[in-house]
Amino acid sequence: MTTSDAPGSPADPAHLLPSLEPVRLIDPDGTRAAPEAGAGFALPEPAVLLALLRAMVVGRRFDRQADALARQGRLAVYPSSHGQEACQVGGVLALAETDWLFPTYRDCVSLVTRGVDPVEVLTLLRGDWHSGYDPARHRCAPQCTPLATNASHAVGLTYAARRKGEDVAALVLMGDGATSEGDAHEAYNFAAVWNTPVVFLVQNNQWAISVPLRRQSAAPTLAHKAVGYGMRGYHVDGNDAAAVHAVVSRALAEARAGAGPALVEARTYRIDPHTNSDDPRRYRDDSEVDHWRRRDPVARLEALLRREGRLDDAGHRAMVDAADRLAISVRERIARLGGPRPEELFDHVYAAPTAPLRGQREEVRAWAEARRAARAGAPAADTGEEV
């Protein structure tokens, strides 16, 4: 055997391949999984497990509140992540304070977990500004809506940071549908060629809106795509917060140490519709949803902590109360917000707006003012338009 043929060498990609079975540390019934299911990963310390559960309880309550706000018409749209909490919480809590998060439109819970003001998180979904929070302050990029566009942004940021000598890694959140996009291919390729410290966490929730995974990929797992780019691939149970945290933590540590990027596939499920405007009964059976409800990530971790004496009723009540307080605050603050100001569209186009742009801005401002006045039942200025 020559040196280049040795296991682990660039000529032998075996070390890049993921396991066919997803890494699991906690079984769906809340018991510890058999050691072989963990594939060498260890259950995190009790303090980490409690933090994971606390963040999932808060995240789910926030998600339920945001979904209600969308149904009340206070949000333009809301893509729920109900059922995917373990992916978002497990991934984010593996990040260092100096790292960056690159979320998508479905990853509001990840932003709340990262410490972003929940009302600012919902700004995009109110139809207001693209990002309601300061990305630099929180080290969270704006939520991307076009699929996989956040992936190349993370590669560019970490490449630049490394050239500046900064110790920065990044976590990219993606859906299974995003892995079929050209943007994903470009990001995976450049990340591997440039050896950037990026971890791509693919939340495989089985459906790209109404397209099942089997109709968009024939790969053994999505994690197997990693080897084609020269990246490490990991396959994990996405409803097991402990396993997600353990796998992403290792992938980030390896990336920081110079081992390059990684692709982590977390198998999970979207319990709710794609958004509040979707009717999933047209493309999936209730029995499938029931199957995944029995694998609920929050109930799974709570059961383990209670069984092992790490959580009692008082401790759980404190988590629920904190989640309720956050939801009430979000509801009340959203109710006090006024509607978006359409004329703001023109505010940051040029340092010195052109005359045509100023005219267009005034036209939109007058239209918006007339519309608000009409809704309030007050006399409106004559704009010559029907409102």
385: pLDDT strictly greater than 80: no
Q: For residues 191 and 187, give the distance between their C-alpha atoms in angstroms, rounded to a whole number.
A: 6
pLDDT-based confidence at residue 78 (cuts at 50, 70, 90): very high
| Beta carbons of 81 and 273 less than 8 angstroms apart | no
User: Token pair for residue 139?
Assistant: 């080290």
Mean pLDDT of the 120-143 span: 94
Are the CB atoms for 192 and 157 separated by under 8 Å?
Answer: no
Mean of the per-residue pLDDT values for the chain? 93
Cα–Cα distance measured from residue 236 to residue 146, given in angstroms and rounded to the nearest whole number: 25
Q: Residue 373's CB: how many other CB atoms inside 10 A?
A: 14
Q: What is the pLDDT of residues 277-304, one digit of tens each?
A: 899 999 999 999 999 999 999 999 999 9
Report residue 4's pLDDT band, with 50, 70 and 90 as the boundaries.
very low
Burial zone of 385 (CB within 10 Å; 0-12 exposed, 13-18 middle, 19+ buried):
exposed
Pairwise pLDDT comparison (375 vs 325), residue with the higher score: 325
Catalytic residues: 270, 274, 283
Residues with Cβ within 8 Å of residue 156, at least 6 apart in sequence: none
- The helix/strand/coil state of 224 is helix
Selected residue with higher pLDDT from 198 and 385:
198
What digits encode the pLDDT tens for the residues 307-355?
A: 999 999 999 999 999 999 999 999 999 999 977 788 888 988 899 999 9
Per-residue model confidence as pLDDT tens digits over 169-199: 999 999 999 999 999 999 999 999 999 999 9
| pLDDT tens-place string over residues 191-243 | 999 999 999 999 999 999 999 999 999 999 999 999 999 999 999 999 999 99
User: What pLDDT band is residue 79 in, cutting at 50, 70 and 90?
Assistant: very high
What percent of the chain has pLDDT above 90? 86
CA atoms within 13 A on the CB side of 39: 17
Sequence letter at residue 84: Q
Mean pLDDT of 101-109: 97
Does 384 have pLDDT greater than 70?
Answer: no
CATH 1.10.490.10 fits 15-336, yes or no: no
Residue 173's DSSP bridge partners are: 201
The 10s digit of each residue's pLDDT in 18-34 is 999 999 999 999 999 99
Q: Name the burial class of residue 45, with classes exposed (0-12), middle (13-18) and buried (19+) by CB atoms within 10 angstroms of its CB.
A: exposed
